[in-house]
Amino acid sequence: MSDETNRTPEEDAIIAAEEAAAEEAPGDVIEDAPTVSDTAANAAAAAAAVAEGFGEESEDADLTPLLEALSEASRLRRQEAARRLSLLAEHRKDELAGSVDVLVDALERPEAQTRWQILDALRIVGADDPELVADAFEAAENALFEEGPRSAFARLAAFRYFVMLGKSSPERSDEVWPLLDEAAQVYHGQPEYREMLVALADFAGGSISDTSRKAVADRVRFDAQGKTGGFLKSYSAQVLAVAEGTEDEPNESEGA
């Protein structure tokens, strides 16, 4: 960020709000404590100030300030920059391809939102050349097994990243399948599991090894052919069909 003498009033307000939040320890008794609505309003105002600081959202926006913001001290600015980069990734793949190292580095930030949106951006950038973003492997593995409900988006983004990487070749599929398999077991039945099954069908239909394809089929067979109903059965059946070559990839709206 800019130094203290060059900060804008909006930056000063954001920094003050973040510092105040960091200093409030659980259990502190605070006189005239803000209400929930006050806190929400302040958070919304701070987020709006950050967004305004980056200017209007546009497909031809300058990416440099967004990439630089990923390393700034402000959590809000990192999150907003990551959000915009994930939205721009589809339209600016070539430019972001030259900054993959910056994106991979951003996966080390402490807040889940920055990590999952950067993982989404990397998945999009690497869609045509997965090896371009292979350096994110270790950080994505860490995100895949983050604990806590607030990390669900990071887990799903990591799962999709590994699907993108793994479906590109038989060798990569064998490398990532143990991670996908473990995640499928750990998050079975969790809210993010439905979208993991959609991604798993994409993996099963990719350029994967016969060993990985059989393993996918074996992983979902019980749910696909069992008595359990709802999305678990229907989506698992679709994954099984793709793995066994008897049906096209699933429609995401089915089984909802």
pLDDT in tens, 104-159: 999 999 999 999 999 999 999 999 999 999 999 999 999 999 997 779 999 999 99
- How far is it, in rounded angstroms, from Cα 112 to Cα 139? 12
Across the range 180-189, mean pLDDT stands at: 96
Q: Are residues 161 and 196 in the same domain?
A: no
pTM of the model: 0.80
**Percent of the chain at pLDDT exceeding 90:** 67
Range of the domain at 223: 169-256
pLDDT tier, 254 (very low <50, low <70, confident <90, very high otherwise): very low
Question: Helical H runs in the chain?
Answer: 9-23, 36-54, 63-69, 75-88, 93-97, 100-106, 112-125, 137-144, 152-166, 170-186, 193-204, 210-225, 230-243
* pLDDT, tens only, 92-101: 999 999 999 9
pLDDT tier, 52 (very low <50, low <70, confident <90, very high otherwise): confident
Q: Are residues 157 and 189 in the same domain?
A: no
- Residue type for 132, please? L
- How far is it, in rounded angstroms, from Cα 43 to Cα 35? 12
Across the range 228-234, mean pLDDT stands at: 87
Residue 153 included in any domain: yes
| Mean pLDDT computed over every residue of the chain | 85
Q: Are residues 104 and 173 in the same domain?
A: no
Q: Are residues 252 and 201 in the same domain?
A: yes
Residue 11 included in any domain: no
